[in-house]
Amino acid sequence: MPVGGTGRQPVRLRLDGGVIESAGNVVFALDAGANRTVLLGAHYDHLGLGGPLSREILTQAVHNGADDNASGVALLLRLAFRQSALPAKDRTNLVVVAFGAEEEGLHGSAALLDAGWIDPNTLVAALNFDMVGRLDALAPVLALEGVQEFPAWRQVLSAVPPPSFTVRTEGHIVPGGSDHCTFATAGVPVLSFSTGQTDDYHRPSDDVERLNWQGLGAIERYAGAVLDALVLVPVDLRQRPADAGVSAAN
């Protein structure tokens, strides 16, 4: 396994000139004895009592962040359990990371690479889950980022059984959007899963009663099937169209 360590990795970040050292990533590894390693990630921090990142900046209230991003962490843990129950031959090695300090600027994922806990060149892919709890009941759409930048994902996704919701892959990676951006910048093929921003985004009303539990379960099963497909269709996701002999228009 190419991961340098498991457990809690401290993350230092500087805010308004002061240094806060209380942030941290939680990292664990599931070794399948495979020659391919996939990182699964979701950020677990949110906004505390509000502050400048809240959309209700004058309200001091607990921001639970049920969708952003307890939903992603729940999915991350369920996915890790699912994978650990599979025979080793049916899975890749996994590095599972709950990132801290995402909201303030992707500090957790940056720290993971900066500290050398993992060499990005050893990763086949990095999957990120940020806000996956609000699948619309009437028009259910899951947005995936990363397919435009790493088009070989299409070969993997075409091996996944069609889910009960629409999968949208047209979106480009939005810089600074979430921790997958850190890995994409480092050249790692990323796939980010999200049901998108709602009116409750970064408000105290982003709470548990608004979540679509069935939708969350459906996305978890889909993400599991994507991991299965990574074993069944072991393409090089770093491969660009030009590498595959498709010449660009001059």
Which stretches of the chain bind Zn ion, using CB under 5 A? 68-69, 130
DSSP 249: P
> Mind giving me the DSSP string for 148-177?
TTSTTHHHHHTTSPP-SSEEE--PPPPTTS
* Between 101 and 125, CB nearer to Zn ion: 101
* Between 36 and 78, CB nearer to Zn ion: 78
* Between 45 and 228, CB nearer to Zn ion: 45
CB of 133 to Zn ion, least distance (A): 11
CB of 55 to Zn ion, least distance (A): 13
Tokens of 84: 């650990």
- Strand-pairing partners, residue 42, are 98
Q: Is the peptide bond before 25 cis (omega within 30 degrees of 0)?
A: no
* Between 92 and 109, CB nearer to Zn ion: 109
Q: Which residues contact 109 (CB under 8 A, 6 or more apart)?
A: 25, 41, 97, 99, 102, 179, 182, 183
CB of 36 to Zn ion, least distance (A): 27
CB of 140 to Zn ion, least distance (A): 20
CB of 178 to Zn ion, least distance (A): 6
The residue type at 66: A
* Between 68 and 228, CB nearer to Zn ion: 68
